[in-house]
């Protein structure tokens, strides 16, 4: 990225020497993401309120990006319309990335799955991503594509609402199915029957592995029974993570 002002940007961007050197050490994926983040900050320094914290009295700010794990230390001079990038750090990737695709009608089951997977997150064996990770104002379609493109395992929460969603059918499912078919960067695509769905009518889903018995979706079970099922599901997800990472 040039250190001069871009005519289409509100703020000029200047990389200090440590940041320039750190940028050269970044992985290609992290470097591309760095370009995007800095460009968006230059257009709107308040673009990412949920990911930025003040770390010094002098006004230094720290931006933390979830995936790839990237930290950008910078300072804003509103008078000079200048953003100074002080340092860049690509943190070690911790845990495989598990993404969850679901209908908002099934938020209950999304939350329950997250709860049952929490011990694996705490142990840093997995990271979980769903659309609640998207900050207001972000280009959410691009954020979803990036997460799906980086996932080791993807989980579909199957229900009639999931299959009825035009966005899922046209935007999310094709991307995930395509990634699962590719041999390189192996991703496991699995699904959980959370409510009755008629999944057999959807060719893209019918051939995928279900993590529980589709004839007994979670919503048809009493609480002790579906809690037992989710415990088994979590073990299968961990197995899928191990298989995906060994590819």
Q: What digits encode the pLDDT tens for the residues 117-172?
A: 999 988 888 989 988 877 655 567 777 878 888 889 999 999 999 999 999 998 88
Q: Confidence band (pLDDT; 50, 70, 90) for 75?
A: very high
What percent of the chain has a predicted confidence (pLDDT) above 70? 90
Is the pLDDT at 6 greater than 80? The verdict is no
Q: Of the candidates 56, 74, 90, which is a domain's last residue? A: 90
Q: Of the candidates 63, 90, 117, which is a domain's last residue? A: 90
CA distance 191 to 194: 9
| Total tally of structural domains belonging to the chain | 2
Let me know whether 227 and 138 are in one domain: yes
Let me know whether 184 and 70 are in one domain: no
CATH code (residue 29): 3.30.2310.20
The predicted model gives 9-18 an average pLDDT of 90
Q: Confidence band (pLDDT; 50, 70, 90) for 3?
A: very low
Q: How deeply is 186 buried, as exposed, middle or buried, from its count of CB atoms within 10 A (0-12, 13-18, 19+)?
A: middle
Does residue 6 fall inside a structural domain? no
Let me know whether 117 and 228 are in one domain: yes
Let me know whether 63 and 108 are in one domain: no
CA distance 87 to 84: 9
Let me know whether 134 and 32 are in one domain: no
Is the pLDDT at 68 greater than 80? The verdict is no
The predicted model gives 12-37 an average pLDDT of 91
Query: Picking from 118-132, 190-204, 228-242, which range would have the lowest pLDDT averaged per residue?
Result: 118-132
pLDDT of residue 7: 44
Let me know whether 232 and 145 are in one domain: yes
Does residue 209 fall inside a structural domain? yes
The predicted model gives 186-195 an average pLDDT of 92
Let me know whether 75 and 114 are in one domain: no
Give the chain's mean pLDDT: 87
Let me know whether 176 and 207 are in one domain: yes
Let me know whether 40 and 106 are in one domain: no
CA gyration radius, the chain:
21
Let me know whether 78 and 128 are in one domain: no
Identify which of 157, 140, 151 has the alpha carbon closest to the alpha carbon of residue 180.
Answer: 151
User: For the segment 27-60, what is each residue's pLDDT rounded down to a tens digit?
Assistant: 887 889 899 999 999 999 998 888 899 998 888 9
pLDDT of residue 243: 79
Q: Which domain holds residue 53?
A: 12-90
Let me know whether 51 and 133 are in one domain: no
- Please tell me which residue, 67 or 148, carries the higher pLDDT value: 148
The predicted model gives 73-94 an average pLDDT of 89
pLDDT of residue 136: 54
Q: Of the candidates 49, 74, 90, which is a domain's last residue? A: 90
β-strands 70-77, 52-54 pairing: unpaired
């Amino acid at each position: 990225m040039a250190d001069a002002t871009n005519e289409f940007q509100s703020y000029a961007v200047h990389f200090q020497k440590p940041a320039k050197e750190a940028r050269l050490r970044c992985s290609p994926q992290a470097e591309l993401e760095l370009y995007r983040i800095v460009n968006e900050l230059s257009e709107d320094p308040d673009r990412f309120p949920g990911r930025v914290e003040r770390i010094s009295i002098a006004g230094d700010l720290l931006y933390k990006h979830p995936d790839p794990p990237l930290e950008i230390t910078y300072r804003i001079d509103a008078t000079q319309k200048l953003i100074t990038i002080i340092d860049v750090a690509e943190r070690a990737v911790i845990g495989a990335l598990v993404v969850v695709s679901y209908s908002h009608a099934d938020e209950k089951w999304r939350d329950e799955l997250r709860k049952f997977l929490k011990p694996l997150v705490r142990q840093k064996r997995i990271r979980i991503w769903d659309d609640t990770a998207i900050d207001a104002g972000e280009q959410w379609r691009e954020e979803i594509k990036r997460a799906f493109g980086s996932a080791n395992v993807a989980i579909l929460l199957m229900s009639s609402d999931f299959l009825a969603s035009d966005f899922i059918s046209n935007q999310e499912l094709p991307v995930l199915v395509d990634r699962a078919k590719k041999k390189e960067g192996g991703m496991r695509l699995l699904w959980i029957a959370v409510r009755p769905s008629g999944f057999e009518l959807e060719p893209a889903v019918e051939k995928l592995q279900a993590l529980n018995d589709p004839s007994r979706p979670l919503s048809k079970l009493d609480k002790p029974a579906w809690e037992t099922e989710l415990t088994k599901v979590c073990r299968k997800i961990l197995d899928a993570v191990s298989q995906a990472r060994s590819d």
